[in-house]
Amino acid sequence: MTVTRITKPHLPFAVVALVLIGCDDANTASTAPAPDAAPRPQLAYASAPKSVVVQSEKITGGGGLSLSIYEAGTPGTPPIVLIHGFTQNFLMWDEQFRGLARSFNLLTYDLRGHGASDKPLEPQLYTESSLWADDLAAVIQARNLHRPVLVGWSYGGYVIADYVRKFGDSGLGGIVFLAAVTKQGTDEAAAFFTNEVLAIFPDVLSPEVRASIDGTRALASLFTRRGSEQYEIALASGMMVPPVVRLAMFSRLLDNDDVLASIRVPTLVVQGAADRVVKPSAAQHIASKVPGARLLMYPGVGHAPYLEVAARFNRDLAEFVRSVQ
């Protein structure tokens, strides 16, 4: 397939949130302006077997920060908001754009400090829960989505919890926690992460160039094969995120069990049993706290189910979204 792309806070156990990083096959699609609307910036990428149209534009998120959002799919179909993980960006969802765009309206965005979104260097802009919540709310409001299903991968689990804490879940159709975590900064939180990821976390957060590169390389290798295109994209995407942003994101003290217990919309928890970043116990914990949550454990799958077993994940996600409409 040929693809053309355009496009020292206190850290006692911050290691815990490292689960957020991800890797992906970064392909995108050629875009066209919506009828009767101002043309949006164009991302050009051809995808097999058929091209997928992805529209991109800038919106204002929490605290006035500029966010890049991306939309693909069929208007009027059930909406899905995809939330990527630590150090990645919208490119990680390429297989979902390809596999689900005919049946659903897909919307994603680059988190603050990531991808093409603004990357201010003030730590407080990444440690305040309400700012992450406001970003996600702005994405939903930008397209006036009706009862969207939120899919949060890895660090995206924190973002969903931030949103529900501030806005509740009454406007949502459902929630999917994908290889996610919701605790950070305590011994209990650290226990949900593998020893492999905890060992490299200091380098991942380091402002020193060689340590940062070595840490990001090691992290990407925990969920994809070194030398693959997915690995190269994960590494390049990771190095776009400034060290001060990385450090601030893991300076938050989070529990969120109260938020999980408050969720009343249908919830799906998806976890790879062979995840080298997040232990299966993290998914089991989330599923035990959310009333009525359903847990899907994928045998032999690692931290990136959306990529490793894309067809299966897309099928499970589609089934879940249709069931909550």
Output the domain CATH number for residue 120: 3.40.50.1820
Assigned domain for 26 exists = yes
| pLDDT tens digit at each of 325 positions of the chain | 232 333 333 333 333 333 333 333 333 333 333 434 445 554 533 333 357 889 999 999 999 999 999 999 988 999 999 999 999 999 999 999 999 999 999 999 999 999 999 999 999 999 999 999 999 999 999 999 999 999 999 999 999 999 999 999 999 999 999 999 999 999 999 999 999 999 999 999 999 999 999 999 999 998 788 888 889 999 999 999 999 999 999 999 999 999 999 999 999 999 999 999 999 999 999 999 999 999 999 999 999 999 999 999 999 999 999 999 8
* Alpha-carbon span 278 to 281, nearest angstrom: 8
Q: What is the reported pTM?
A: 0.86
Assigned domain for 7 exists = no
Assigned domain for 3 exists = no
* Alpha-carbon span 218 to 19, nearest angstrom: 13
In angstroms, the Cα distances linking 63 to 67, 209, 247 are 11, 30, 20
Assigned domain for 8 exists = no
Q: Side-chain half-sphere of 67: how many Cα atoms within 13 Å?
A: 27
Eight-class DSSP state of 91: G
Is the preceding omega at residue 75 within 30 degrees of 0, hence cis? no
Assigned domain for 280 exists = yes
Question: Two tokens at 178?
Answer: 């994908």
Range of the domain at 258: 14-324
Closest among 271, 219, 166 to 15, alpha carbons compared: 219
Assigned domain for 248 exists = yes
Assigned domain for 6 exists = no
Eight-class DSSP state of 145: -
The pairs formed by 123-128 with CB atoms below 8 angstroms and a separation of 24 or more are: 123/9, 123/244, 123/247, 123/248, 123/251, 124/248, 125/63, 125/65, 125/248, 126/245, 126/248, 126/249, 126/251, 127/9, 127/248, 127/249, 127/251, 127/252
In terms of phi and psi (left: phi > 0; alpha: psi -120 to 50; beta: otherwise), the region of 20 is alpha
The pairs formed by 208-211 with CB atoms below 8 angstroms and a separation of 24 or more are: none
* Alpha-carbon span 77 to 99, nearest angstrom: 14
Instruction: Compute how many other C-beta atoms are within 10 angstroms of the C-beta atom of residue 293.
Output: 18
Closest among 196, 263, 277 to 234, alpha carbons compared: 277
Assigned domain for 5 exists = no
Q: What is the CA radius of gyration of the chain?
A: 18
Domain total for the chain? Answer: 1
